């Protein structure tokens, strides 16, 4: 498995968010005990497919403006270098245990620094556009007081000339849906007992049963809505980045947990609905 991982790593620049995707396999190869999981098996097959497909990357044109899109999860960071909407290269990095404890702001900030450091040879000569989905980073240079780490990062950014732009929601094309789905599944499998049973519930579910069947056995005439919006990831059904929850007690448990847990503090209807629809459908 380590040999395969080394091989796949050689092609990491052709695979968006490679470090996030390969994280379950990396975890399996740590320590003295080798424990192969269902998620690792799915990722293994996915990577085999990706390393045998032709990459669709453009050659850089130094007469055009470079664009850098950054995204971050608490599993890893990812970014894409592009021009006129066409990708030139991908970069990703799996976060260690220390960095996984960073705040959302710090993880997003770290993602930008690492992307610019990685593509320094492209970006130093002229002005470029830097996109991020964390609006607080638009005001990073206006902070009067910075801690040691932030000061170091701000000093690093001053070596570049760029325009910082924020992308809202669906406009953020960098946030690779696959990495978000993988991260959500890893969290659910670690925290929810019996989560694997969800895949079996789809078969007889009145909301999602037919959709899962169409995706597993594609035939001519599948509605475009199903083909374009729904995905099977590791046997679980997603609508975009939302995990589809079949009819049953898990729906009620998720709502109760998000509404009335100690951390949630009994939010009202609108806030609870927003928390549920952020990850679940």
What's the pLDDT score for residue 126?
A: 87
Domains of the chain by range and CATH?
2-50 (no CATH), 67-171 (3.30.420.10), 192-279 (no CATH)
Lowest average pLDDT, out of 40-49, 253-262, 271-280, goes to 253-262
Q: Say how many Å lie between the first and final Cα of the chain, rounded.
A: 35
Nearest to 51 by CA among 107, 105, 101, 10: 10
Q: Is 60 exceeded by the pLDDT of residue 221?
A: no
CA distance to 45, 157, 186, 234, per residue, from 42 (Å): 5, 38, 12, 6
- 123 is written with which tokens? 């970006």
Q: Is 80 exceeded by the pLDDT of residue 81?
A: yes
% of the chain beyond a pLDDT of 90: 9
Q: Give pTM, 2 decimals.
A: 0.49
């Amino acid at each position: 498995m380590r040999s395969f991982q080394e091989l796949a790593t050689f092609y990491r620049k052709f695979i968006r968010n490679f470090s996030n995707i390969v994280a379950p396999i990396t975890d399996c190869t740590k320590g003295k005990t080798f424990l192969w999981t269902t998620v690792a098996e799915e990722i293994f097959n996915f990577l085999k497919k990706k390393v045998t497909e032709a990459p669709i990357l453009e050659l850089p044109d130094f007469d055009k403006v470079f664009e850098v899109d950054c995204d971050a999860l608490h599993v890893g960071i990812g970014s894409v270098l592009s021009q006129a909407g066409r990708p030139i290269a991908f970069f990703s990095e799996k976060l260690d245990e220390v960095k996984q404890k960073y705040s959302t702001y710090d993880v997003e900030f770290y993602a930008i620094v690492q992307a610019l450091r990685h593509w320094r040879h492209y970006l130093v000569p002229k002005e470029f556009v830097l996109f991020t989905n964390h609006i607080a980073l638009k005001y990073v240079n206006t902070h009067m007081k910075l801690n040691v780490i932030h000061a170091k990062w701000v000093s690093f950014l001053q070596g570049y000339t760029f325009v910082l732009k924020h992308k809202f929601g669906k406009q953020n094309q960098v946030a690779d849906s696959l990495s978000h789905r993988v991260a959500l599944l890893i969290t659910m499998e670690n925290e929810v007992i019996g989560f694997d049973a969800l895949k079996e519930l789809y078969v007889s579910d009145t909301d999602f049963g037919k959709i899962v069947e169409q995706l597993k056995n594609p035939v001519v005439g599948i509605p475009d809505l199903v083909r374009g919006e729904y995905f099977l990831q590791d046997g679980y059904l997603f609508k975009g980045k939302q995990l589809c929850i079949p009819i049953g007690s898990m729906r009620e448990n998720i709502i109760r947990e998000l509404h009335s847990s100690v951390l949630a503090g009994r939010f009202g209807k609108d806030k609870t609905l927003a928390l549920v629809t952020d990850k679940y459908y």
